[in-house]
Amino acid sequence: MYRQPKRNLTTLGEFIIDKQADFPFAKGELSSLLSDIAIAAKIVNREVNKAGLVNILGEAGSENVQGESQKKLDVFANEQFLAALATGGECAGVASEENDEIILFDGASSSGKYIVAIDPLDGSSNIDVNVSVGTIFSIYRRKTKNGPATVDDFLQPGYDQVAAGYVVYGSSTMLVYTTGNGVNGFTLDPSIGEFCLSHPDMRIPSGGNIYSVNQGNFVHFPEGVKRYIKSLQIDDKANKKPYTLRYIGSLVSDFHRNLIKGGIYIYPTTLGSPAGKLRLMYECNPMAMLMEQAGGRATDGYRNILEIEPTDIHQRCPLFVGSTQMVEEAMDYLRQYSDAEMKPQYANGKES
């Protein structure tokens, strides 16, 4: 008789199918969508890994919607994710950092149940110096039932996300995702070409001693943020201060480290960017869902990120995300020291 050998390895594909069994009426569309994203991520990973070897570095000669020059890998990553989602049939359209307007798919995909917001290659200024970059994605059930999706299908608050995740192309490549039932991390084993479960049920420590912020902008920060940062730098051994500053400038990498070790990532409003720098729909919302699912917090300094009603697919938003105690302490400083003008300027739904 065949004796099945003990196998400790769970691939992402097996895990997704296994989880789908928890929902007897699920038709497997979300599972397929996640698998499509994972396949595109492997292709992007292959190119990121050889970025120094082939002639793929440098400007692609075009500008993205934010007026930033695009690197070739941004363009490549965008194309890969769009192609994977367009052919999968479950996704009706995509809002991408690289495209001014939403992209709507035709054929069978036009009636797909889901829409995706994505930053195909976040932190792309780090590519040509061999520093980790990432992909961030957010999945919603579309609101309209028939016909092509509309912009309104995309403008849903973060609490309506059905899944969110990121891929970090780092010293090893990981895909971390949630469908609202905890956070699980998978490391790509290049020898078999599979993401394998390596970080089950990820939980962020409630406190930490790492803070991540672009301190070069300190002079332009709200008073509350300045005072909070100063409070982390005092000599106070009993409270493990001064804390450690770690800032890669690649949201996915900074987030990933803080998720594992405990810490806070801050990108506040600044004098020059009164609504912050990061994008609500494909940077802040997915990270906020992941962080809440891992037991942490994500706010704009005053309110929960996931409650914000978006009015524009490329809307900006300040971000305070990480260990609950740290985020709440930062919010206390903002409430105490920052006057109303420094609140993010989209209170009436409009970014200024």
Q: Which is nearer to ligand AHM, 115 or 133 (CB)?
A: 133
Label residue 274 exposed, middle or buried (CB < 10 Å: 0-12, 13-18, 19+). middle
Q: Which is nearer to ligand AHM, 176 or 251 (CB)?
A: 251
Q: Which is nearer to ligand AHM, 69 or 325 (CB)?
A: 69
Chain residues in the site for ligand AHM (CB under 6 A): 68, 122-125, 214, 249-251, 277
Q: Which is nearer to ligand AHM, 35 or 96 (CB)?
A: 96
Least Å distance, CB 25 to ligand AHM, is 38
Q: Which is nearer to ligand AHM, 279 or 343 (CB)?
A: 279
Element at 20 (helix H, strand E): helix 12-20
Asked if residues 103 and 123 have their Cβ atoms less than 8 Å apart, the reply is no
Which tokens sit at 227? Answer: 């005072």
Query: Beta-carbon neighbour count of residue 303 at 10 Å?
Result: 13
Least Å distance, CB 184 to ligand AHM, is 22
Least Å distance, CB 20 to ligand AHM, is 31
Least Å distance, CB 4 to ligand AHM, is 44
Spatial strand order of the sheet with 244-245 comes to 244-245, 210-212, 264-267, 319-322, 297-299
Least Å distance, CB 131 to ligand AHM, is 11
d(CA 323, CA 328): 9
CA angle, 297 then 298 then 299, to 5°: 125
